[in-house]
Structure 1
Amino acid sequence: MVRQENQDRFLLLREGVYYYWRRVPRTVVHLEDRAPVIRLSLKTDDLAKARAQRDILEEADNILWASMLTEGGKTEAAMAAYKVARARAEALGFAYRPALDIAQLPLEDLYRRFSAVADKRTPTAVATAIMGGVDRPKVLVSEAFKIYCDEIAAVEIVGKSEEQKKAWRKVKQYAVDAFTKVVGEDLAMDDITRDHAKKMHDHFKALIAPTDKKADKKSASLGKRRLGDMSILYKRYYAHIGVEGRPNPFEGLTFNQKFKKRRLPFPIEWVRDVILKPGALAGLNEEARHIVLVSIETGARPIELRYLREDRIKLNDKVPHILVEPSFDPDEPHEVKTVSSVRRIPLVGVALEVMKRHKDGFPRYRDSGNTLSATVNSFLKENNLQPTGKETLYSFRHTFEDRLKEGRIDDELRKILMGHTIDREQYGSGGSLKLYHEELMKIVYPFDPSIV
């Protein structure tokens, strides 16, 4: 009898056959039916195969024991038990199927399963898993959403800042809340039907095209996004728990938007003659005022300016500029909107003077995007600085693009400076900072130093 350690942990070689051999942790020994020691024949003499089967069983038991120690309630424990049953079946080469589905399997598959169950070396718990004896628990939409956020999408959002994670989750939550409100209850995922999905679709259709002409219309993109988020939740949840081929009730239910709502830019002359007039922004706190001024001359998104740090503010380079790029610092991670958003923007005019005073960016608003927007937008409104009453902080970015067009800046360079996608295969570096600087100097606003 030989027992290996390290990479061969929990493997026991006995009479030429590998076993999964593991002692139940003390913390759960009183809750575990298999205590004190788990012994399971892996029915193989191939070490590589035994290791692969061990990995599946090890992870399954870790999940089960963790659920025993949490206060997640019956649903969490039932889900853990279901995952463990799947893992046990898969470790011995069987795809997990509910008992009703197993009855419909081909005779050859049924024979294999019955043979494994009849083997005296197969523990009762494993035999139960092979024959689909553990029911999939009914998980509510709200519970599935928590699983989606905490487990399924965890890797995808790891690079976001805490602020970005909250915003991401908040938007996804809107879809769940809307669905629950429309159907009248927090349904179990298994109970969602096409009729429920259509009811949600009809709800948004009434908001997008209300019969009451005086009603406030919602955009088609809103309905498209909410239904899309529910469709993604449904699809990825069932893939996560190993259920394949389940029809998605939200499939194909969407809305087409002919015209995308566009933010209004400030007129070019308005920024020059009104916004940059001495005293116009004096009532704003310094960081908010300075973010506005840098936005005017860089076209950067507010979030891109908020996340600037010292290492991305290049004041001492031959061409002073800022770098817009993601942060992989585990203590302060953040993402950029798209790959094309990663770019260098020369600092010209008032933007250069402002950044000389903020060599480490704008800490007051680094994690407070909503506060920044509310502060600036309220100030613009209260001081009659919006020509139509609809312009916002983000509008300065659109004005910047208008200025690039009016200045006859090359279309591709405009996309580079704005962080937009270039719709062709790219060659070279896209041009030098010196070139970017020369082009921006053609459209730079004159300014009174007192506004800084």
Structure 2
Amino acid sequence: MATSTADYLELRGKTYYLRMRVPAEFADVEPLLEINRSLKTRDRVDAEAKCANARAALFAEWRARRAGKAADTRAIFDTSIELLKGWGLTFRPLDDLLTGPIDDLLSRIELIASMDLNSAAVPAALGTLDLPDATLAEMAERMPDLKEAEIRAKNPRQLREWCGNYKRAAKDFTAVIGKRTVLKISEQDATDYEDFWKKRAKSGQVTTNYANKQVRYVRQMINAHFDDIRLAKSKRVNFFEGLGVAKLSYDPSDDERKKLPLPEKWICGRLIGDRVLEGLNQQASDISIIAAICGCRASEIYDIPEEDIHLDAPIPHIMLRVVLEGEDRRELKRGSTSRAVVLLGPALAAMRRHPRGFARYRGKASFSGEVNGYLRDNGLFPPLPQGTSGRYVISGLRHSFEDRMDAAELSNEERAHLMGHSIGKLRGRPVYGSDLELRVRALLQELVGIEGDGWKPRPRKAIRAELDRLREEAGFRLE
């Protein structure tokens, strides 16, 4: 049966007391069998409030003692912080107390004067607690818990990739600098690690973008630890702040890693016309067809949940958006990526074959590897143009879409709308006004549409005229 605060109150004469038996679970850290403590009040309501606070402080004290007995620095710190809260105090390092207002220090000394010197409240109140520390490898394991709110929309594949970034950064740092805990990382350590990535980028072993990510991941883990131990902002020293690798005037690794756009003839004839990927499986083929025609990232298509597929709408389309809950949750690359994608011709036919989405690849990381491997192993990629280095990959379809928009003379803003790029970044200022309506998106998509499955795009001049008609219909003056 649940107990209330009143069960621990005892009126002796005119004064209320806290009276409670020590729970058996704390018998190893509390020698008394029963606690009897004056609440120094005659008022019943005041006594109930003080009783609740006193019990909370007792439990915090016992947990702190147990943590100390186990020599668990982290547990000692956490329970001691909670203990201080019960006394209306916050943790301040001893140096701060010695250089701060004398009244604060004296009030803390007065508070602990009547306490057992073995109480966890003593080092907590006097600021002599050891701050919890952790290696970067330990921080990499804890990042999902520390950043829970930030990753709630990630699906299993996205979460694995996100966690892998920190684990790899921790491993690389340890290999280059040595094993360090967050609070022991020196300015020289940070400088040496930055220099390591500068040299790798300069030699072309990695891109500057990759190098900067590795520095950033370490910086983020350090800051996450500071947040976790509630370290005052004025006490935080992260030597990785401001570090990074400047973009080279010529980055030799860019040429090797640049994705080549797949030729338009190959896309129309082989990918869509011959459906060369059906030899692998139907889902891979149709994901690639939609990506080629609509300019989406493949992951935007195969991660899409059933409820975001609108095949029976007046204008059939899919919605690319963040999904926070459920087994089909997913995160998008950035805010501007959220958009409606109109389905026309072969893209609509491909999506109709999968009205519930692509379960084979949803939330997984196997698509690109399977597709690239199949096309390469079977000699199905087109030959490289003479004098071109590198190799084709299926994600080059998005680059091909850019070429198709260029050929159709779409403006930069029209391209950004279709590809999910930031309009604000393009304009260099905040974006105002309405979002692009579905009818306009459909016409822009038709400008770069590919014939097939009984559908053929109209002449571009007719499509542009229809766009003008819609603008005039909305009341805009075009001349």
* TM > 0.5: yes
Tell me the equivalent position of 1:213.
Answer: none
CA 1:194/1:364 → structure 2, altered by over 3 Å: closer, same or farther?
A: same
Compare CA radii of gyration and give the structure with the larger one.
2
Residue equivalent to 1:324: 320
- 1:357 shift after superposition: 0.9
User: How far apart are the structure 2 equivalents of 1:9 and 1:301?
Assistant: 63
Percent of residue pairs bearing the same amino acid type: 26
CA distance in 2, matches of 1:308, 1:339: 16
Could you say if the C-alpha distance between residues 439 and 249 of structure 1 is closer, same or farther in structure 2, counting changes exceeding 3 Å?
A: closer
| Aligned twin of 1:419 | 420
Alignment of 1:141-220 (within 5 A): 141-150=136-145, 152-184=146-178, 186-210=179-203, 217-220=205-208
Q: Could you say what secondary structure the match of 1:108 adopts?
A: helix
Counterparts of 1:271-350 in structure 2, within 5 Å, are: 271-278=267-274, 280-350=276-346
Letter in 2 for 1:169: C
**Counterpart-to-counterpart distance in 2, 1:402 and 1:43:** 81
1:333, distance to aligned residue in structure 2 (A): 2.0
Offset, 1:162: 2.2
- For residues 63 and 209 of structure 1, what CA distance do their matches in structure 2 show? 53
CA distance change for structure 1 residues 308 and 139 in 2, over 3 Å: closer, same or farther? closer
Question: What is the rounded CA distance, in whole Å, between the counterparts of 1:85 and 1:322 in structure 2?
Answer: 53
CA distances 1:318-341 after superposition (whole Å, capped 9, x unpaired): 111111112233343221222211
In structure 2, the residue corresponding to 1:441 is in which secondary structure?
Answer: helix
Check conservation: 2:303, 2:328, Cα contact below 8 A: no
Q: 1:32 to 1:332 in 2, by over 3 A?
A: farther
Unaligned runs of 5+ in 1: 211-215
Deviation, 1:397, is 1.6
* Aligned mates of 1:357, 1:58 — CA distance in 2: 65
Displacement of 1:54 in angstroms is 8.2
Note closer, same or farther for the CA distance 1:10–1:180 as it changes in structure 2 (3 Å cut). Answer: farther
CA separation of 1:173/1:61 partners in 2, compared to 1, >3 Å: closer, same or farther? farther
Residues 235 and 346 of structure 1: CA distance in aligned 2, closer, same or farther (over 3 Å): same
User: Which amino acid letter does the alignment assign opposite residue 407 of structure 2?
Assistant: E
- 1:345 and 1:368 mapped to 2: Cα distance? 22
1:354 partnered with 2:350? yes
- The 2-side partners of 1:386 and 1:55 are apart by 75
Name 1:223's counterpart in structure 2: 211
Q: 3-state DSSP class of the match of 1:344?
A: strand
Given that 1:4 and 1:12 are in contact with CA atoms closer than 8 Å, whether structure 2 keeps it comes out as no
2:247 maps to amino acid: Q
Q: Is the contact made by 1:41 and 1:121 (CA closer than 8 Å) also made in structure 2?
A: no
Q: Secondary structure at the match of 1:323?
A: strand
Residue 30 of structure 1 and its aligned partner are, at CA, apart by 4.5
- Of 116, 128, 134, which residue of structure 1 is paired with 2:129? 134
CA distance in 1, matches of 2:58, 2:8: 11
User: How far apart are residue 275 of structure 1 and its match?
Assistant: 3.1
> Cα 1:21–1:234, aligned 2, differ >3 Å: closer, same or farther?
farther
Q: Please tell me whether the aligned partners of residues 40 and 122 of structure 1 are also in contact (alpha carbons under 8 angstroms).
A: no
User: Which SS does the other structure have where 1:364 is aligned?
Assistant: coil
Q: CA-to-partner distance for each residue in 1:417-449, whole Å, 9 max, x for gaps?
A: 211111144444323222222222222112368
AA partner of residue 293 (structure 1):
I
Q: Which residue of 2 aligns with 1:434?
A: 439
Q: How far did residue 49 of structure 1 move? A: 9.4
Change (3 A) 1:12 1:343: farther
Whether 1:88 aligns to 2:90 is no
CA-to-partner distance for each residue in 1:131-174, whole Å, 9 max, x for gaps? 13432344323223333332x21221122222221111101211
Code of the residue aligned with 1:385 in structure 2: it is F
Q: CA deviation at 1:310?
A: 2.2
Root-mean-square deviation (CA, aligned residues, Å) is 3.9
The 3-state SS of whatever aligns with 1:276 is: helix
Match of 1:114 in 2: 109
Tell me the alpha carbon deviations over residues 185-215 of structure 1, each in whole angstroms, 9 at most, x when there is no partner.
Answer: x2222221111112211211221123xxxxx
> Residue type of the partner of 1:156?
E
CA distance in 2, matches of 1:122, 1:292: 71
Quote the offset at 1:101 in angstroms. 5.1
Structure 2, unaligned runs of 5 or more = 385-389, 455-479
